[in-house]
Structures are given as C-alpha cells and as structure tokens.
Chain A
Amino acid sequence: MIQVDGPKAITAMEMDFGAQSDTGCVRQNNEDSFRLAPEINLFVLSDGMGGLASGEVASRLAVEVVLEHCREAEAQPLLPLFGERIGGVSEISNRLASAVRLANRVVHDAARNNGAEQPMGATVVAVRLTDERMSVAHVGDSRAYRLRGGDLEQLTQDHSFVAEEMRRGAMTAQEAGSSALQSVLVRALGIDPEVEVDVSEELVMDSDTVLLCSDGLTRELSDAQIAAVLREGDDAQRTARRLIDLAKQAGGGDNITAIVLRRAAKPAGAFARIGRLGKWFRDV
C-alpha cells in the first residue's frame, strides 16, 4: 500500500533546530557540508572525500542537489521521481530518496568532468519531517540518531566495511572501534552512476530529539557521551555546539558536523532562531 499523504509539513515555528560544523583540530579544510531548510522541514548533511578541494565540492553538491530537488518538488508536485518508487513508504520519503539518487548522479558526473585524477565522493544523511512522520535517507557513514525517553537509538546503519563485518558477525563492536579500516566505505555518493539509498520512516513525538552527524563526531564520542549531551535538553543550537566542543576536546581528528532537531515547546522562540539562520548557511 503506497501512502499518498500530501506534503502536510509542519511549520518552522514548531521546530527548534541548530547546527554547527567545524574543521576539527587536525585537518586543514572542512569537507563536511550541511543545509537547513525549515520551510520544508528538510535537514541534510554530507561528508565529502577526495583529493585537494574535491571533497568539499562533493559534499556541497550533495546537500545542494538534495535541497533543490525537494524544493522543486514542492513547487511542482508532479515532478517525476529520479529512480524507482519504493513501496510501503510515503510520497515524502520517495521524494527524499529521489533527491539522494539525483545527488549521486550529479556528484558522479562532476567527478567525471573533473578528470579522473580527482575522484570524489560523499556520504549523505537527510531527514524530512511532517507532523507525525520523519523520513530518513542515507548513504555512507554519516548517521541519524534519535533520543526518546532518555534512550539513544541509531536510526541509520553505516555503509562501511567495519559495520558490515559487524552485521555479519565477523567483527565485534570493540574490534570495529579500533580497526584501521574504519574509514573504508562500501557505499557512497559519486562512485557509480546509480546508488542504493536506505530509506526509513520514523514516528515523530514531541519529546524526541534527532541528531544528524558526520563520522568526525562519532569517532570521538561514544553513544553514551552523545546521549548525555542530548539529555541535558538545552536548545538545539547550543546542543550542537556542545557536541562539537566535546569532539574537539577528544581530539577532533576529522571534520565534525552536527544538526540537532527538536519539537519546540514554545513557538515564540523559534522566530528569533529563523533570524539567526543566515549565519549557519555557508556559501549559499
């Protein structure tokens, strides 16, 4: 059964959201990108890879294409989906998957046009919310987490070598955590002309906190440390900043990006936050 719920989007006023990205303590440049589009309740993050500046280009292309495709579909609801329709999920989830597939194609084509000497790729994790439902799409090892009732749950499964080894029982979590192969991805945007996108749907509850992050955060902080920060219940922007600060204190070996989303208890505060939004956008 295909759900054909219209875009019953919640308004920005009901959301408390914040984001922060940092180069970290070791790298010279920040290859992570993110975009916040509260007017369509879309939040997207990407971690780029490739030599010279190509990682930055790849991640920026990825987030921009996802955003553009979803915006375009808002304006023209009949815009065809890029790729196959997925059964058993909403129209909004299908649109998000379509956007990620398109981002893959754009990064792939850009890498080809670049000349083969600069191959590039990117991860992506994107969420889109309606009143009650959250669509989650991802490729690679950037993650979505949810804190509900004090318990932290990882909503995405990494497309990395160590995560797949763990899933088939060939590696323990501890071994994976100390493996030199942590950086090896088995799925990413830009590598092939087609990519398989993992899509899931989640119930949205008023008390939920959602975190999107790049592996620069999860390499430095354990799930327990992340959960402790989210449980403090500070506003979304300060929570994102706190996560980045802790990851940097722990070493900051990679670029670190965090997007924090919460249903706002007080609608009034959100207007002020929209005003502050401008400075979070980089290069828009």
Chain B
Amino acid sequence: MPKLVLKFENSVLKELPVGTKEVSIGRSPENALVIDNPAVSHYHARVFNEEGRLMLEDFGSMNGTFVNGQRVKMVTLKPGDSVGIGKHTIVISESREMDGFASGNGSTKPAAPKLNETVMLDTKERREFLQKVAAVGESAQVAPARLKVPTLVVRKGKTNQREYTLNDKLTVVGKSGMATVKLKGWFAPKAAAQINRRDDQSYYIGAADKVPSVNGQPIATPTKLSSGDVIEVAGIELEFVYRD
C-alpha cells in the first residue's frame, strides 16, 4: 500500500497509508492529513485510489499543489514523487507493484466504457502544467537538435538534388509532382515513402508504395528518425542529419 510521508524541511512529521479511502489534505482539522500552515488552504487537495492508480487532485487551492516542482490540478502519482504544498513536502513511498497498485487486467480488449459524460479538464494551472511538462521534455531531448536543421543527404541513387532541408510537415520521396525528394528513372514509384514532422518536432518515416529500411531494417510502423540514420528506399540511400 502506498504511503504519504509528510515532511517539513528534512524532518518527517507524519506518515499515512492510502487505502481505498481517500486522503484529504488541508489546514482544517477535518482533513485526514492536516497541515497547519497559513500557506495551506482549508481544503487544499486530496489523494485517492482510482482503479489501482494513485491520483492527486488540487481543490483549486490559493497557493497551489506542486508535483516535482510543477503546479498541478490532477495527476497520477508514482512512488518517489514529491508533492509540494506550501513549505511542506509529501513524499510518495513504496513501489506501485505493491497491493492496490496492480496494473491493468491482462485483457487486450478495451475495458467496458464508462458511462460518465465526457468532461473538459479545464484549468489554467493544468494547461500550464502540461505545457511545462512538454517544455521540460523538449529541452531535455530535442533542444540540442532543434537548433539544427533537419536535412536529408543523398548518399546513393538518382534524385533531383544532393541534399534536402526538411521544412514541411510532410515530405514525400517519389516521382510524383508533390514529392520533395524527386526520384528519377522509368520505374521509380510515384510515392515511395513519406516523412512526417509531428507536433513534438520529431520526424517519422513511413511506408507508401515501398517499405523503407532504416539502418538496414525494414520498418514495420512509422519510425522516428535520429541524426545519422540511413534510409534505403526505391534504390536510393538517404542519410538523415541535423545540420548546424
């Protein structure tokens, strides 16, 4: 069973397990976990089990609830997460493999639909939080590459240019009028393959008339390209690189 460990600076003030009953958090003495501090709202947030997932919901508190430094409205908690409320910290302890944290039901069919109405999770905090998460993810993984220009360099085969800068969301390799990487030759396919830029700025190659190979492996599904990947399709060889 997961446990909430309430800390102030480095000292542990209280430990509280989360069972089937939700744990309400706030300044009011009616809460299961009382934090007596003016920075904490009377009814600040709650932690509860939702079908085996540990959830945290902020009740629109004045000073907010933070998970690992990001302000949140509602999030899934995992062991090791640090929940900040005022100057206090609640650490989530124990692994999710423990009881109450069994994941999934082993079925491949989607679970029975919930009949509750579709709702919009609409708070400024939630959106800002998601944007921050996205920004953190990007700066960690994509930022160094984003300063560079995604480029296809032709290493083998007949094309109309030796190099292509990928400016568009869709880049087609083939003989067709819309193709950026134009193939030459009588038997070249109209559209051999396509490269899509997704909203996270990464590039994916997918099959069209031909199934391309990336680094010698034929792709089964659209495949994310990394700098240095070599694409082979319709008799040509292209290297995907991020140029300075």
Contact = CB atoms under 8 A, between A and B. Distances in A.
A171 B207 CA distance: 29
A133 B50 contact: no
B118 A203 contact: no
Given A202-B170, A202-B196, A253-B115, A174 B104 contact: yes
Nearest to B74: A161
Interface string B115-153: 111111110001100100100010000000000000000
A185 B119 contact: yes
A168 interface: yes
Residue of A149, A161, A203 most packed against chain B (CB within 10 A): A203
Interface in B163-194: 167-170, 172, 176-178, 191, 194
B113 A186 contact: no
Contacts, number: 143
Interface in B39-87: 50-53, 55, 74-76, 78
Interface string A208-232: 0000000110111110100000000
B121 A161 contact: yes
Interface stretch (A10-18, A72-80, A193-201): A193-201
Interface residues of B, number: 55
A25 to B, nearest CB: 10
A216 B133 CA distance: 29
Given A153-B222, A174-B105, A184-B119, A200 B206 contact: no
Nearest to A185: B120
Contacts of A199: 169
Interface string A164-175: 110010111011
Interface residue SS majority, chain A: loop
A222 B170 CA distance: 28
B120 A121 contact: yes
B113 A132 contact: no
Interface of B: 50-53, 55, 74-76, 78, 103-106, 108-122, 126-127, 130, 133, 137, 167-170, 172, 176-178, 191, 194, 196-199, 206-209, 211, 220-222
**8 closest pairs, A vs B, by CB?**
A174-B104, A253-B113, A201-B170, A178-B111, A219-B113, A88-B168, A183-B118, A49-B118
11 contacts: A3-B168, A26-B115, A49-B119, A132-B178, A151-B221, A179-B50, A181-B55, A185-B118, A186-B127, A203-B170, A251-B112
